[in-house]
Amino acid sequence: MFNYKAVIEFDGTNFLGFQIQPEGLRTVQGEIVKVLSQIFNKETNIVYAGRTDAGVHALNQVINFKCEEELDLYKFKWSLNRMFPDDISVKCIEKASDDFNSRHDAKWREYRYFVVNDEYQNVFLKKYSILVCKKLDLKLMTECTGYFLGEKDFTSFCSPEDDKKSKVRNILEFEIYKSNVFGLNEVLVFRIKANSFLYNMVRIIVGTIIEIGKNVRDISSIDLAFRKSSRDLAGSIAESKGLFLADVGYK
């Protein structure tokens, strides 16, 4: 058996998340598995670095799969991109070690969330960012990022539906900065990197900080939410369309 690692990007707008769901629901994994199984003429599943929710996008999702034949990677990549729907693309593919596992071997994941803080949102950004018209206090929001760094219990900042026993995660890097996107709008980018993430964790953190940036929530509420471990003490969940799985690291 040969093990292959691929980097995938996708537009999550018309997917009900990454992970395969009951028959009839469109997911990214479902589309990938369908094409691989068609090419190899047998059911072929994949392992993936991170599960994304409905409407969330990816710039660099990492998957791996095994097959019985050695592939011509140039031709195989071309075949995948020809057969995949328009909202999925393979960026690169390579042979991996037999024991490589894209999920378990990942050391960190990085997400980015895009916010247009303006009176108007360019039509080409509407699917990939949210619009906040009220002026946000970037200095205050940047101060917020320090509260989240390090190893903490993120019970307050994840969905109650998350069934993981431990809610402890380690945020390695967190910054908020301005970036111009193709001259369309100046966008606020929330870049957050951690060993792994809980269900809706990034979107709840972003929603909380936006409320603080609007001055409708006090920055002290972050510390209280960590101390009390209650979802009710954190902010609202930001829309999924502004969130991207940006990168996955293995070193």
Band (pLDDT 50/70/90 cuts) for residue 23 is: confident
Structural domain containing residue 12: 2-96
Q: Which residues are identified as catalytic?
A: 53
Q: Are residues 124 and 25 in the same domain?
A: no
At residue 235, φ and ψ (nearest 5 deg) are -80, -175
Q: What is the pLDDT of residues 44-56, one digit of tens each?
A: 999 999 999 999 9
pLDDT for the residue 51:
92
Angle between helices 220-228 and 138-148 (to 10 degrees): 20
pLDDT for the residue 180:
87
With 90 as the cut, is the pLDDT of residue 129 above it?
yes
Q: Are residues 15 and 135 in the same domain?
A: no
Q: Are residues 116 and 83 in the same domain?
A: no
Give the Cα separation of 82 and 38 in Å (integer): 13
**128: CATH:** 3.30.70.660
Q: Are residues 65 and 126 in the same domain?
A: no
Bridge partners of 67? Answer: 2
Q: Are residues 203 and 127 in the same domain?
A: yes
Band (pLDDT 50/70/90 cuts) for residue 182 is: confident
Q: Which of 27-31, 173-177, 178-182 has the lowest mean pLDDT?
A: 178-182
pLDDT for the residue 80:
97
Q: Which of 96, 117, 137 corresponds to the end of one domain?
A: 96
Give the Cα separation of 189 and 200 in Å (integer): 17
Band (pLDDT 50/70/90 cuts) for residue 245 is: very high
Q: Which of 36, 65, 96 corresponds to the end of one domain?
A: 96
**57: CATH:** 3.30.70.580
Q: Are residues 57 and 113 in the same domain?
A: no
How many structural domains compose the chain?
2
DSSP one-letter code for 234: S
At residue 178, φ and ψ (nearest 5 deg) are -95, 140
Q: Are residues 113 and 218 in the same domain?
A: yes
DSSP tally for the chain: helices H, then strands E: 5, 10
Band (pLDDT 50/70/90 cuts) for residue 183 is: confident
Q: Which of 67, 96, 125 corresponds to the end of one domain?
A: 96
Is 26 part of a structural domain of the chain?
yes
pLDDT for the residue 184:
74
Q: Are residues 124 and 87 in the same domain?
A: no
| Tokens found for residue 64 | 């791996």
Angle between helices 28-40 and 73-83 (to 10 degrees): 130
Please give the mean pLDDT across all residues of the chain: 96
Is 44 part of a structural domain of the chain?
yes
pLDDT for the residue 116:
96
Q: What is the pLDDT of residues 130-139, one digit of tens each?
A: 999 999 999 9
